[in-house]
Amino acid sequence: DVKVTQSSRYLVKRTGEKVFLECVQDMDHENMFWYRQDPGLGLRLIYFSYDVKMKEKGDIPEGYSVSREKKERFSLILESASTNQTSMYLCASSFRQYSGNTIYFGEGSWLTVV
Amino acid sequence: AQSVTQPDIHITVSEGASLELRCNYSYGATPYLFWYVQSPGQGLQLLLKYFSGDTLVQGIKGFEAEFKRSQSSFNLRKPSVHWSDAAEYFCAVDYWSDFGNEKLTFGTGTRLTIIP
């Protein structure tokens, strides 16, 4: 079974703190994604990585950065957390070869910024 | 630009009744289409996907979806729902970025409630 593991399920951080969300996948997938999920807005892509050290902005990258130093690990960084970044964050991964590959999701990280 | 519309925010169905969740997409090329399900507090799981060929696609848990190009729709159906089907359902379409990378764009989701 494919496993995408998000290290923290629930976090509470203060405004202005630097926040790291970590994600690891065990299927040797080239692609990794960070989505944000909010009620009524569905899933919105923050950043995407298609190889080690390679990244591409998604639809809502402002206020976020990412790091992919190893193929299995993709980190989302909030440089200075703000209350409007309170949300559910979902990591996902997929193969890059061919088209229409299934994307596999982690269980999500609930972040509250106070 | 690609987009996905799920017009129903919330649907309530009696257990044993049939179900249809609507999805409309906008995409210039022949789309790859997906349905994902999210149980409370969990990540998303793939139900089914359409690439080409037969327009009726079978998925897991007894779900099916029909691709209708003329209506730009990809509706999800189940003949008889079970209480365990209560979840949020997301429709998604594949697209390629300006840099040639493949991604998904999701609809806003439909929350399904099952009543006894």
CATH of the domain at A74: 2.60.40.10
- Architecture label for domain B3-115: Sandwich (2.60)
C-alpha to C-alpha distance for A42 and A38, rounded to whole angstroms? 6
C-alpha to C-alpha distance for A104 and A94, rounded to whole angstroms? 6
Please give the pLDDT value at position B43. 87
Q: Which domain holds residue A11?
A: 4-107
Which of A37, A91, A94 to mutate against chain B (most B CBs within 10 Å)?
Answer: A37
B9 touching A (Cβ < 8 Å):
yes
> How deeply is B51 buried, as exposed, middle or buried, from its count of CB atoms within 10 A (0-12, 13-18, 19+)?
middle
B39, B107 Cβ separation under 8 angstroms: no
* Interchain proximity A56–B9, CB inside 8 Å: no
- Digit-coded pLDDT (tens) for A3-40: 899 989 999 999 999 999 999 999 999 999 999 999 88
Indicate whether A25 belongs to any domain: yes
Indicate whether A112 belongs to any domain: no
Give residue A98's pLDDT band: very low, low, confident or very high (50, 70, 90): low
Indicate whether A30 belongs to any domain: yes
C-alpha to C-alpha distance for B88 and B25, rounded to whole angstroms? 18
Residue A97 has pLDDT above 80, yes or no: no
Closest CA to A103 of B77, B87, B93: B93
State how many domains chain A has.
Answer: 1
C-alpha to C-alpha distance for A113 and A106, rounded to whole angstroms? 21
What is the full per-residue pLDDT of chain B (116 aa) written as tens digits? 778 999 999 999 999 999 999 999 987 777 889 999 999 888 899 999 998 888 899 999 999 999 999 999 999 999 999 999 999 999 999 877 777 777 888 999 999 999 99
> How deeply is B71 buried, as exposed, middle or buried, from its count of CB atoms within 10 A (0-12, 13-18, 19+)?
exposed
Please give the pLDDT value at position B1. 72
B63, B77 Cβ separation under 8 angstroms: yes
- Digit-coded pLDDT (tens) for A49-59: 999 999 999 99
* Interchain proximity B102–A101, CB inside 8 Å: yes
* Interchain proximity B105–A45, CB inside 8 Å: yes
Alpha-carbon torsion (A47, B40, A101, A94), positive or negative: positive
C-alpha to C-alpha distance for B15 and B33, rounded to whole angstroms? 27
> What are the structural domain ranges in chain B?
3-115
* Interchain proximity A48–B41, CB inside 8 Å: no
Nearest to A43 among B45, B46, B90 (CB): B90
